[in-house]
């Protein structure tokens, strides 16, 4: 019934897709077609960039020419600014897909002409619309249009008139506005007469800045109501939905082997983990978490699948060198473009920014398997509790695309603390949980592995000791002995 209601909602209200990654998903298809949308926020939140992308992508991707009318920047300044997003407004203007119009408004001119109305603006806007056959309009920003107008009664009347004029002509419009002190906007009226209201926010927490988006209201349509982190990059805006509205992702009965024969035997009689599932490999420092996780990636590449590693402790070159010492050749996978390593400092940006970056990288590379090593490094002091909701969003993204995900997580290894607890407390989100430990035996340290859980499949509950050498990763219980042929290499 829920799916039917959603379909009915989308069929009764026509949408104007924005083409902005994530935003159309949040709004179930885009902004309301033929109706005005208000985009408000503080300075630097990204209002103009969102509006410009709505116009550009409408013209290029959806066959809907547009008019961008600005009251602060001129056409040359706007063209230079959006060029950083990869958009060439000059070319679109020459092709008559976009019309740019700068309206200069001075307070002195308003006082000299007496009672203020928008009749002149409507004539000018009508001409621009007809010149390109526009279906979309942007007015940026509305405060500049009404600057210096002290008569609140006239202001409110003209605001209503503006929104009605746009709606009567069936224009999909975006009006930008500055955030007010006591309301969403300075005048406190636009949010009531607009059919859709989007709030943009740019905040700084612990010296890390994050942009977020929230759909305040959307008449006649379902929409996501949470705050969504977004970025402004070289290809435009990218919004990362917090999570889907329901757990409705598909599942697979196929398996992805780890490439370590004895470990696969502990999982589903040698078949490995379920494809599209989430696997947590946790343990104290030096237990081999990264090595096991990378083994999954190399195994995927060996089968001709694509794998991606998000590394937060090592650079790509360092990871390639270190994995070679245990018989895994990552360089061959990279050369064949089956493996991509994305290395960055975990403190470079906030959690939301990391999430959006992962989303964009996954969308661009389209991997079959993803490794995040380690998720515990994404936390900084005072923000450990934030990793769980962030990881929920990432797992939701990955599961919807049927990608197998391997996460590593650090346990403190302190005496008296249970090893069966990851530092970020996300084990409940995982389908399979592998715990690695260090034990002392006859004066030497040995690594052990146990599968704490694996949903939907039988698995071994035996604690296995294992060793890592230049011939690979093998157990010490006599079941398997390292052989030269076990060395996996992709040339």
Q: How many CB atoms lie within 10 A of CB 109?
A: 11
CA distances from 430 to 57, 173, 242, 248, 427 (A): 38, 43, 18, 17, 5
pLDDT tens digits, residue range 74-84? 899 999 999 98
Helix (H, G, I), strand (E, B) or coil at 73: coil
Residue 38 has pLDDT above 70, yes or no: yes
Residue 391 has pLDDT above 90, yes or no: no
Residue 157 has pLDDT above 50, yes or no: yes
Alpha helices in 135-279, H assignment, sequence order? 142-145, 152-168, 190-193, 261-266
* 13 contacts: CB under 8 Å, gap ≥ 6: 32, 33, 220, 221
Contact predicate 112/101, CB 8 Å: no
Mean pLDDT of 401-429: 70
Q: How confident is the model at residue 112 (pLDDT cuts 50, 70, 90)?
A: very low
What are the tokens at 392?
A: 């929920």
What are the tokens at 242?
A: 């917090």
Mean pLDDT of 136-145: 86
CA distances from 38 to 35, 184, 405 (A): 10, 10, 38
CA distances from 330 to 333, 488, 490 (A): 5, 10, 8
pLDDT tens digits, residue range 395-407? 888 888 899 999 9
Half-sphere exposure of 35 (CA within 13 A, CB side): 20
Lowest mean pLDDT of 5-14, 32-41, 303-312, name the range: 5-14
Instruction: Give percent of the chain with pLDDT exceeding 70.
Output: 80
Residue 172, judged by CB atoms within 10 A of its CB (0-12, 13-18, 19+), counts as buried
Residue 394 has pLDDT above 90, yes or no: no
Contact predicate 38/175, CB 8 Å: yes
Lowest mean pLDDT of 57-71, 315-329, 438-452, 457-471, name the range: 438-452
The residue behind tokens 């942009």 is 211
pLDDT score, position 4: 43
Contact predicate 28/223, CB 8 Å: yes
Residue 273 has pLDDT above 80, yes or no: yes
Contact predicate 22/228, CB 8 Å: yes
The residue behind tokens 């052990």 is 448
pTM comes to 0.69
* Residue whose C-alpha is closest to residue 227's, from 208, 210, 206: 210
Domains located in the chain, CATH noted: 2-239 (3.40.50.300), 255-489 (3.40.50.300)
* 347 contacts: CB under 8 Å, gap ≥ 6: 380
Most confident option among 18-22, 242-246, 356-360? 18-22
Q: Which residue has the higher pLDDT, 390 or 326?
A: 326
Contact predicate 350/389, CB 8 Å: no
The length of the chain in residues reads: 491
**Average model confidence (pLDDT) for the chain?**
82
Mean pLDDT of 377-382: 57
Residue 416 has pLDDT above 50, yes or no: no
* Residue whose C-alpha is closest to residue 250's, from 231, 273, 277: 277
Residue 19 has pLDDT above 80, yes or no: yes
Q: How confident is the model at residue 191 (pLDDT cuts 50, 70, 90)?
A: low
Q: Which residues of 437-452 are buried (b: 16+ CB within 10 A; e: fewer)?
A: bbeeeeeeeebbbbbb
Residue 99 has pLDDT above 70, yes or no: yes
Alpha helices in 366-407, H assignment, sequence order? 387-400
pLDDT tens digits, residue range 240-270? 765 554 567 788 889 999 999 999 999 987 8
pLDDT score, position 139: 93
Contact predicate 473/295, CB 8 Å: yes
pLDDT score, position 384: 55
What are the tokens at 298?
A: 């190399």
pLDDT score, position 442: 74
The residue behind tokens 């600057």 is 147
Q: Which residue has the higher pLDDT, 491 or 153?
A: 153
Instruction: Give percent of the chain with pLDDT exceeding 90.
Output: 45
């Amino acid at each position: 019934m829920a799916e039917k209601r959603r379909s009915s909602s989308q069929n009764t209200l026509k949408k104007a897709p924005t083409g902005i990654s994530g935003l159309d998903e949040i709004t179930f298809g885009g902004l309301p077609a033929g109706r005005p949308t208000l985009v408000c926020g503080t300075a630097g939140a990204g209002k103009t960039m969102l509006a410009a992308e709505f116009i550009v992508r409408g013209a290029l991707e959806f066959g809907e020419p547009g008019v961008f009318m600005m009251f602060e920047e001129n056409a040359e300044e706007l063209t230079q600014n959006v060029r950083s997003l990869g958009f060439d407004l000059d070319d679109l203007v020459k092709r008559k897909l976009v019309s740019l119009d700068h309206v200069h408004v001075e307070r002195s001119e308003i006082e000299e002409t007496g009672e203020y109305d928008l009749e002149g603006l409507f004539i000018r806007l009508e001409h621009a619309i007809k010149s390109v056959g526009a279906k979309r309009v942007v007015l940026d920003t509305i405060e500049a249009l009404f600057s210096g107008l002290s008569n609140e009664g006239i202001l409110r009347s003209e605001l209503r008139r503006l929104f009605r004029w746009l709606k009567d002509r069936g224009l999909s419009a975006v009006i930008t506005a500055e955030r007010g002190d006591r309301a969403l906007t300075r005048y406190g009226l636009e949010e009531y007469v607009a059919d859709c209201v989007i709030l943009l926010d740019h905040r700084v927490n612990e010296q890390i800045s994050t942009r977020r988006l929230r759909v305040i209201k959307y008449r006649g349509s379902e929409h996501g109501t949470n705050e969504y982190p977004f970025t402004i990059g070289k290809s435009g805006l990218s919004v990362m939905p917090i999570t889907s509205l329901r757990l409705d992702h598909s599942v697979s009965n196929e398996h992805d082997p780890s490439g370590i024969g004895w470990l696969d035997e502990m999982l589903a009689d040698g078949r490995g983990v379920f494809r599209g599932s989430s696997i947590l490999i946790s343990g104290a420092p030096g237990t081999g978490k990264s090595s096991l996780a990378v083994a999954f990636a190399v195994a995927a590449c060996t089968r001709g699948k694509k794998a991606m590693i998000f590394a937060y402790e090592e650079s790509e070159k360092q990871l390639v060198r270190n994995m070679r010492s245990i018989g895994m050749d990552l360089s061959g996978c990279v050369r064949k473009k089956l493996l991509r390593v994305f290395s960055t400092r975990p403190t470079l940006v906030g959690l939301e920014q990391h999430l959006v970056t992962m989303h964009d990288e996954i969308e661009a590379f389209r991997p079959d398997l993803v490794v995040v090593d380690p998720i515990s490094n994404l936390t900084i002091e005072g923000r450990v509790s934030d990793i769980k909701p962030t990881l929920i969003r990432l797992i939701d993204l990955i599961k919807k695309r049927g990608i197998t995900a391997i996460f590593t997580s650090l346990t403190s290894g302190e005496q008296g603390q249970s090893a069966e607890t990851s530092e970020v407390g996300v084990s409940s989100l995982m389908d399979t949980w592998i715990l690695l430990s260090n034990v002392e035996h006859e004066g030497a340290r040995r690594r052990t592995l146990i599968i704490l859980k694996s949903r939907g499949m039988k698995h071994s509950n035996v604690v296995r000791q294992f060793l890592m050498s230049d011939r690979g990763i093998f157990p010490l219980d006599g079941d398997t002995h390292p052989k030269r042929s076990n060395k996996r290499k992709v040339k």
